[in-house]
Amino acid sequence: MEAGPAPRRAVEIAMSTHKVGPETTVLADCIEVPGIGFLPVNAFVLHAEQPVVVDTGLGLPDRDFLDVLGSVLDPADVRWIWLTHPDRDHTGGLFALLEAAPEARLVTTFLGAGIMSTERPLPMDRLYFLNPGQSLDVGDRTLHAFRPPLFDNPATVGFYDDRSRTCFSSDCFGGPMPTADLAVSTDVAQLPAEELRASQRLWASVDSPWVQMVDPDRFLAAVDPLRSMDPRTVLCTHLPPAVGLTPQLLDTIAAVPGLDPFTGPDQAALAQMLATFEPGGG
């Protein structure tokens, strides 16, 4: 009797850190999505005069966001926690960080706070509501809030740091990577340009399926402000750091209107995945 395929083992993944320029640290993580690839799940530290933590990672039991953050700076020194939106892959370490950083304010929107409060009440006296088009002074620079052209949550707010010319874009520009090592790498340019374009188009169809219905001209009007920003670095939750690639990234997302939405596996495919997957990687 011929043996069937060997059960596939899960890839063990651990958070890591690396710098992007002198002022930003990436807290890099990823998660495997069967059939799609390895999706980066990044958080960031902006080493401003008033330090800013951008998102707080996954909430999986084998991740310790606060411990990894502590290797970069003392959590007690954090003054701002910028929550780009309240999805669970952005909020894993949020409440632990709020406890460890008693002077930190949580930057979100009215809607973002409302969504978060359906899971666990937020300390209302520590909230700082900031809408697209508004700015936040963090001591040595001003952060300019904007709504990214692509998003999967109505509370999404990214920001542009004009001192370091860095755009923190939340989910916009994301793309799954073919390997875990590439997903947590220091430079997305390690992936060939055409593969990067295909990855980002796939992510747009998964994360923002509404682009199938949008008017191209109105969508381009949402992309143009990012061209005007002309960031040197684009930092996305779901993409390795992109330095010097802004025109390429913008051209890719400018072409997504009308893109067919992603259709996931059905039950038969799930049964096949379960039959070939061996959890634990032991």
Tell me what the mean pLDDT of segment 173-194 comes to: 97
Residue 267 has pLDDT above 50, yes or no: yes
- Residue pLDDT, tens place only, 39-88: 999 999 999 999 999 999 998 988 999 999 999 999 999 999 999 999 99
| pLDDT category of residue 95 using cuts at 50, 70 and 90 | very high
Residues 206 and 208: their CA atoms lie apart, in Å, by 6
| pLDDT category of residue 279 using cuts at 50, 70 and 90 | low
Q: For tokens 């025109």, what's the residue?
A: 247
Residues 139 and 158: their CA atoms lie apart, in Å, by 19
The pLDDT of residue 273 is 81
Q: 108 exposed, middle or buried (CB, 10 Å; 0-12, 13-18, 19+)? A: buried
Contacts (Cβ under 8 Å, ≥6 apart) of 184: 13, 16, 28, 29, 30, 40, 240
Q: Please tell me which residue, 12 or 115, carries the higher pLDDT value.
A: 115
Residue 198 has pLDDT above 90, yes or no: yes
The pLDDT of residue 275 is 87
The pLDDT of residue 281 is 46
Rg of the chain over CA atoms, in angstroms?
Answer: 19
Give residue 16's identity as a one-letter amino acid code. Answer: S
Residues 233 and 160: their CA atoms lie apart, in Å, by 10
Measured from the Cβ of residue 223, the count of other Cβ atoms closer than 10 Å reads 17
% of the chain surpassing 70 pLDDT: 94
pTM, whole model, 2 decimals? 0.92
Tell me 177's DSSP state.
Answer: B
Output the CA torsion sign for 69, 73, 79, 80.
negative
Which run of H or of E encompasses 20?
Answer: strand 16-20
Bridge-based pairing state of the strands 16-20 and 158-161: unpaired
Domain definitions of the chain by residue range: 8-278
Residues 107 and 83: their CA atoms lie apart, in Å, by 6
Name which CATH class applies to 8-278.
alpha beta
| pLDDT category of residue 119 using cuts at 50, 70 and 90 | confident
